[in-house]
Amino acid sequence: MKLTSKEKAIKLRRRGYSYSEILKEIPVAKSTLSIWLKSVGLSREQKQRLTDKKLAGMKKGWEARRRNRIEITGKIKEEARAQIGRLSKRELWLFGIALYGAEGNKEKERGSLVIFGNSDRFLIKIFLKWLQDICYLPKNDIHFLIFLHETAKDRLPEIKKYWSEVTGFTIDHFQKVTWKRNRITSYRKNRGDNYFGLLRIIVKRSTNLNRKIQGWAEGVYNNCGVV
């Protein structure tokens, strides 16, 4: 019986079967199988088959983990979104203060304009809503400046159209562009069809508004126990 099993194992191995495939056919200890097959050589084609099968198995595992990760992420996000609900005007006001504190131009002694820059379209949308619904700014007081890497020069009309659709302002509001000449590196997201640069929102005659935002921020600090 052992001899027959060994011969069958050798035959399967010479056909390019992997250890796991052979063990499905011949239920012996893996250590025993290893001893039987120690001297069995494989051709280049057989080795390639085993390599391809191993890679296919790895890819299948990656895909399964990826699907599982996407499913878990979706459930977590869905539950988190439901916890927020609709924001009140006060909540939007406080959110805008925090947003500007993180990404906005800080007030200086001699005064400075309200300037907010970001590449995330949703944060741009929220800040524009905050300016108009909370600070009651008219559209005429809001200007834009696009920051782009030179690699995106040929996509400028597309990028202007993108920011026009994001903000709800017409394309003629996006004539000012600052070109960045930084060395391009592979780990930076500064190229490709999903790159639209950074949009800077500039509010005219807003020195006092900037001071007011700073005062609101200080009020938040004082009332949440960090000062």
Please state which of the ranges 4-18, 66-80, 125-139, 200-214 shows the lowest mean pLDDT: 4-18
For the residues 64-75, what does the mean pLDDT come to? 94
pLDDT at residue 54 greater than cutoff 90: no
**CB neighbour burial string for 120-129, b if at least 16 within 10 angstroms, e if fewer:** eeebbebbbe
pLDDT in tens, 161-182: 999 999 999 999 999 999 988 6
Q: Domain segments of the chain: what residues? A: 89-223
Please state which of the ranges 64-68, 76-80, 114-118, 156-160 shows the lowest mean pLDDT: 64-68
pLDDT in tens, 119-150: 999 999 999 999 999 999 999 999 999 999 99
CB 222 within 8 A of CB 183: no
For the residues 23-33, what does the mean pLDDT come to? 89
* Model pLDDT, residue 44: 74
Provide the whole-model pTM: 0.72
For the residues 210-226, what does the mean pLDDT come to? 92
For the residues 13-23, what does the mean pLDDT come to? 84
pLDDT at residue 183 greater than cutoff 80: no
